[in-house]
Amino acid sequence: MTIREAINKASLQLKTKQIDSPKLKARLLMQFLLDKDRQYLLVHDTEKLTLEQEKSFFNNTKKLIKGIPLQHITHGQEFMKMKFYVNKNVLIPRPDTEVLVEEVINIAKRINAKKILDLCTGSGAIAVALAKSIEGSEITATDISDKALEIAEINAKNNGVDRQIAFLQSDLFDDIPSEKYDIIVSNPPYIKKDVIKKLQKEVQNEPILALDGGYDGLKFYYKIVQQADEFLKYKGYLCLEIGYDQKSDVLELIDKQDKYTGTYCKKDLYGNDRIIITKVGD
Ligand SMILES: C[S@@+](CC[C@H](N)C(=O)[O-])C[C@H]1O[C@@H](n2cnc3c(N)ncnc32)[C@H](O)[C@@H]1O
């Protein structure tokens, strides 16, 4: 079977099973199999696959049909133009989160922030992207999951910023040394418990620990907003990613604490409310 025939066949199988973007996914699986770019496939589409390659390609197609995310098969995701290794133990970094990272970079450059805490780091996407963009930054990246932290460390090494990031296992602030940071950033789990089972199969195959925000989706914001000021310098920033429908709830949590000021929200590229920024002070 040629490259083109295999892609067409897989694409049809995916389409029949209502997998979205079937053509693109079939092509990306082929690129992964052959370790080649799109251009190569276009030029060599009549090249024959070996039987072994064919078997491996259609095995991976089956995995997609079972709902395994493409990125868990190819072990890769681009974020902020950098490559991240991912597996079943970490959330696949999303383009929405780039809005948060870009805002934190702007703030850090404006206030000359160097000490940054990334809570709930997962694959390390936020911490690594910040370390890469903020010269001289010292970042502490934490997660409750040791398996996620292993992946985050791999990503820091692969992107050449491992010396700027300290990794620490902690249930939110529980094991964080009492230091003061210029910025605390977090993309915590924020999906309502009973919504998780209604999500696409692919998302449900991501770690539950990365999704589950409790019965109202706000469990983590409540704790973070309550404690962050103890770990922030005066006028230090708290920067949070939120779900598209959580703006008013998170603003209310922040308001109730009566210790933050200058709070604002920004939208993502799709026009959804996506990040909330606030700072310690009156
Ligand atoms: C939504 S994912 C975010 C991953 C990454 N920061 C990103 O933006 O792609 C949330 C992460 O929070 C971690 N987590 C869940 N409960 C936690 C807790 N109690 N303390 C610290 N991290 C926790 C999960 O392991 C997961 O890696």
DSSP H or E segment with residue 98: helix 96-111
Q: How many helices (H) and strands (E) does the chain have?
A: 13, 9
What average pLDDT score do residues 76-90 get? 96
Alpha carbon 94 to its chain centroid, in Å, reads 5
Mutation to probe ligand 1, out of 130, 144, 226, 227 (largest number of atoms < 8 A from CB): 144
Find the 39 Cα to ligand 1 centroid distance in Å.
36
Is 93 touching ligand 1 by the criterion CB < 6 Å?
Answer: yes
pTM equals 0.95
Give the residue among 114, 126, 99 at the shortest CA–CA distance from 237.
114
Is 217 touching ligand 1 by the criterion CB < 6 Å?
Answer: no
**Residue-averaged pLDDT of the chain:** 96
Ligand 1 atom having least distance to the Cα of 190: 1
CATH assignment, 77-280: 3.40.50.150
Using 50, 70 and 90 to split pLDDT, how confident is the model at 282? confident
Positive or negative: CA dihedral 104, 219, 196, 167: positive
Contact 234, 228 (CB under 8 A): no
Amino acid in position 180: K
Rg (the chain; Cα; Å): 21
Using 50, 70 and 90 to split pLDDT, how confident is the model at 201? confident
Query: What is the pLDDT, as a whole number, of residue 136?
Result: 95
Q: What is the pLDDT of residues 137-154, one digit of tens each?
A: 999 999 999 999 999 999
Is 126 touching ligand 1 by the criterion CB < 6 Å?
Answer: yes
Amino acid in position 94: R
Is 97 touching ligand 1 by the criterion CB < 6 Å?
Answer: yes
| pLDDT tops 90 at residue 178 | no
Beta pairing partners, 191: 212
Is 145 touching ligand 1 by the criterion CB < 6 Å?
Answer: yes
Please report, for residues 21, 139, 239, 240, 250, the alpha-carbon distance to residue 274 in angstroms, rounded to integers and kept in the order given: 25, 23, 11, 8, 11
Using 50, 70 and 90 to split pLDDT, how confident is the model at 281? confident
Using 50, 70 and 90 to split pLDDT, how confident is the model at 207? very high
